[in-house]
Structure 1
Amino acid sequence: MDKVLDAISDKLLPLANKLGSNRYLAVLRDAFMLAFPLTMFGSIIVVLTNLPFFNDSTKATLASLFGNGQNATMSIMTIFVTFGIGYYLSRTYEVEGIFGGAVSFSSFLLLTPFYTLLDNGEQVTGVLSLDRLGAKGMFLGMIVAFLAAEIYCRTTKKGWQIKMPDSVPPAVSKSFAALIPATLTLSIFLVLNAVMTGLFHTNLHDVIYKVIQAPLVGLGSSIWATLIAIFFIQFLWFFGLHGQILVNSVMDPIWNTLMLENLEAYQAHKALPHIISKPFMETFTVGLGGSGMTLAVVIIMAFILKKKMYRDVGRLALGAGIFNVNEPVIFGLPIVLNATILIPWVLAPIIVTAFNYTVMAIGLVPAPTGVSVPWTVPIFFSGMMATNSVLGGLLQIVDVVIVGFLWYPFLRVLDKQDDSAL
């Protein structure tokens, strides 16, 4: 068994290292993290203005007073992501990041229709629709930001710049240096938008949404794709590789888009379109003690297992586990390369996630509203915040019990092994 695990590890390490060091995946991850504090602020506002014991009139009043807290943050998340992609990608090329971010964002706006349609079909020009700056424009924003930043950086690296004398202030000099690359980049996207609107009488927002975003979002919102993602997260962690970073770098754009679509529906008092979303993954997987839902494991180790080494590790890891940080148990039990507990480590999150999806699909527990909850919030509270219902918190407690039952027989086997070593 050890030889098999070593062989798998030898194959996985190079692949994981390539994915982890991939320039574009790293930039995408950092761009979403740039938006994190802003979306978190917006989520807090949504929670506070939609508390379950408020009536509809109170909620409407609070929304009119404080609604911009969400409109200026979560609803325009694509703005932050496009700027972040341009900024961080430019820095990897050792090009001035602030101009790269501005060019990427402006390129996205060049392809964005400055009009909206009213319910009666009337077209109002000179305005930007929030949905194009949020969920509906997310994939176009990412594609355009990467392309614009690449063009801008490569043009800059070729030396197509206006160089100013050393006596000129640095801010002025940098602005002139960015002039030609920025003009070239923006011209390309301006012409592209002219072609789409003039020849095809459409816009890239609608094309990308129908051809790319909608199918990907539909795939990512399925329980089967989610379970496959969780399997790879657990499998990679078993070999000591950070499964969340590797898998989420691919899935986060989809899960975040699903989150924004849920939030828009929730704010409009419509039925939530998705169960799977970023808050679902944060609250009902990582939010149960960290990667692998190990809060129950830590509790069993701390208070039920007999061996002192396991009790000590469990008690040391319990404080961190309550806040969903579980590296102490992953490397202290250890879970990494421990064949005895491979089965519950991989299967427990899959089973519990399928269970959570089922109870939400049949309506026993409401789905997450789209509010982003920090993954460090302890269980019950995070579930209640994510679903705007106490049932979300109770579901998390049930999840912990299920994980405990699935893990207990294997932990008992582990507890009986290698007595001579203690």
Structure 2
Amino acid sequence: MNKFMEFLENILLPIADKLNNNRYLTALRDGFMVALPFIIFGSIFVVLANLPFLDRLIGEEAFATYQNALAPASESTLSLMGLFVIVGIGYKLTQRYGLEAIYGGTVAIASFLILTPQVLEGVAGAIPAVSLGAEGMFLGIVTAFVSAELYRFFTQKNWTIKMPAGVPDQVSKSFSALIPVALTLSIFLVLRIVFSFTPFDTIQNFIYTLIQEPLTALGSGLPATIIAVLLIQVFWFFGLHGQIIINSVFDPIWYALNNENLQAFQAGQEIPNVVTKQFIDTFLVGMGGTGMTLAVIILILIIGRSRQMKELGKLGAPASIFNVNEPIIFGLPIVMNPLSLIPWILAPVVVTIITYFAMSTGIVPKPAGIIVPWTTPPLLSGFLATGNAWQGAVLQAFNLVVVMIIWWPFLKIIDKSYYENEKKSSN
């Protein structure tokens, strides 16, 4: 194991050092750090608003009132986290160039909003909230980079308005930014107009059409499920909400298979299908969120030495128990972090294969078709999803250990990198 660790360090750490000096990846990482407090706040209230089985304890009407009261906390933060990330990236990249950073952040968000459809169900001027959250993240990241670079280009070309001496500093800065901001936004407006004359109408439709249409040819079964899981992980790594993309294609298939299992379970017949909606939601996503990151949190709390990792583990653990994992996805970070790519993709695929064969061979009962609330903690959710079978909980526990083993060497390297950087900063 030591030789394997040395091998990984010799390969991955030099790459990490080079990437840490890359202005775009640094801005991306720091941009997510700007959004992290809002993400954690929103995640806490998502958990509180969706406590499993609370509707049965207090009644559906009281539960709906309770959820409506807490909804603004997550809707104003977690649901709009794309906006915070975009501002953070634009700000940090512009700051790296030694320019007025606030204009880099604001021109990034304005550019993104220009590209975003502003019609919702026939109502003009209404921006769909989903476009401002994780679903719009990929376009937002690209827009932030391009807009910040355009702003820098126009500013460094001195295409600015020079105010006479004696004008207050903030007024002078505002006029100085006017032409670079106007030119940058004009370019994005032209881009929006161009796409309006295409069959896609918007850039968002262009992105999702190219991604989703090839997926419609896939069906159910283990090979298709592995492909679906793999794509979810890859899309998330690049900042795209993988589940929104993949589930929109596979949910009709998974739900139909789920209903077949439920009918068989209620009739006392043999359950026909292994892969169902609950197979995905309970034994993959329902283990701390996408990528089964509860295992990562546990591992951080066990082996973490760096201050950053320890604090992330403490902050991310409560939400992760209820399968909310934005804090770890954007706090570690996992998005666009080459050190996390291998375990992030490999672990869910391995667990998919293990779970499939455990159920297909009868070691663990197949999902009974029971829809378990998505915030139900692991072990309990596995027990319920398999028709109150203890083997479901044991399988979840085993899979958590598998994920921890896969992540362990990579998390050690990430932690070591953070720890060394913290030592350098303190000297």
> Which residue in the other structure is 1:60 paired with?
64
- The match for 2:171 is 172
In 2: Cα distance, 1:174 partner to 1:188 partner: 22
Q: Which residue of 2 aligns with 1:133?
A: 132
- 1:59 positional shift: 2.7
Distance 1:36 1:66, change over 3 A: same
Cα 1:112–1:251 shift into 2, 3 Å: same
Q: Give the conservation status (yes or no) of the 8 Å contact 1:135–1:257.
A: no
Q: Distance in 1 between matches of 2:279 and 2:113?
A: 27
What is the 5 A alignment of 1:35-50?
Answer: 35-50=35-50
Q: TM-score, normalised by structure 2?
A: 0.59
| Aligned counterparts of 1:321 and 1:192: Cα–Cα separation in 2 | 39
Contact 1:289–1:321 under 8 Å retained in 2: no
Partner of 1:284: 294
- Bigger mean CA offset, 124-133 vs 207-216: 207-216
Deviation at 1:183, TM superposition (A): 0.4
| Cα-Cα RMSD | 5.2
Alpha-carbon deviation of 1:136? 2.9
Q: Counterpart of 1:77 in 2: which secondary structure?
A: helix
Q: Is the 8 A contact 2:86 2:109 kept in 1?
A: yes
| Aligned mates of 2:152, 2:384 — CA distance in 1 | 44
Given the alignment of the two structures, is residue 26 of structure 1 paired with residue 26 of structure 2, yes or no? yes
CA contact (8 A) 2:232 2:243 kept: no
| Contact 1:156/1:181 (<8 A) preserved | yes
**What is the aligned partner in structure 2 of residue 417 from structure 1?**
none
- The TM-score normalised by the length of structure 1 is 0.59
Equivalent residue, structure 2, for 1:77: 81
1:35–1:259 CA distance, 2 compared to 1 (3 A): farther
Correspondence for 1:414: none
User: C-alpha offsets along residues 357-413 of structure 1, whole Å, 9 cap, x if unaligned?
Assistant: 9889964898994x8xxxxxxxx979889x99999997765456668999xxxxxxx
Contact 2:278 2:371 (8 Å CA) reproduced: no
**In structure 2, do the counterparts of structure 1 residues 395 and 39 end up closer, same or farther at CA, with 3 Å as the change threshold?**
farther
Runs of at least 5 residues in structure 1 that lack an aligned partner in the other structure:
118-122, 231-246, 263-269, 299-312, 326-346, 372-379, 407-422
State the distance in 1 between where 2:38 and 2:103 align.
21
Q: Answer whether contact 1:82 1:142 (CA < 8 A) is retained.
A: yes
* Counterparts of residues 75-154 of structure 1 (less than 5 Å): 75-117=79-121, 123-154=122-153
Q: Check 1:139–1:363 CA distance in 2 against 1; reply closer, same or farther (3 A cut).
A: farther
Which amino acid in the other structure matches residue 298 of structure 2?
L
1:16 aligns with 2:16: yes
Number of residue-to-residue matches in the alignment: 323
CA contact (8 A) 1:288 1:396 kept: no
Contact 1:104 1:145 in 2 (8 A): yes
The answer to whether the Cα contact below 8 Å between 2:120 and 2:128 also exists between their aligned partners in 1 is yes
Q: By how many angstroms is 1:353 displaced?
A: 7.6
Assess, with a 3 A threshold, how the Cα gap between structure 1 residues 355 and 201 changes in structure 2: closer, same or farther: closer
Equivalent-residue separation in structure 2 for 1:69 and 1:282 (angstroms): 25
1:287 shift after superposition: 2.0
Q: Conserved in 2, the CA contact under 8 Å of 1:82 and 1:141?
A: yes
SS at match of 1:98: helix
Question: Unpaired runs of 5+ in structure 2?
Answer: 219-223, 248-254, 256-276, 318-345, 361-365, 407-427
Which SS does the other structure have where 2:85 is aligned? Answer: helix
Residue 177 of structure 1, CA deviation: 1.3
- Equivalent residues of 1:139, 1:208 under 8 A apart: no
Match of 1:280, SS state, is: coil
Deviation at residue 108 of structure 1 after TM alignment: 0.7
> Identity, % of aligned pairs?
39
Distance, in Å, in 2 between the alignment partners of 1:138 and 1:61 is 31
Query: Which residue pairs with 1:251 in the alignment?
Result: 237
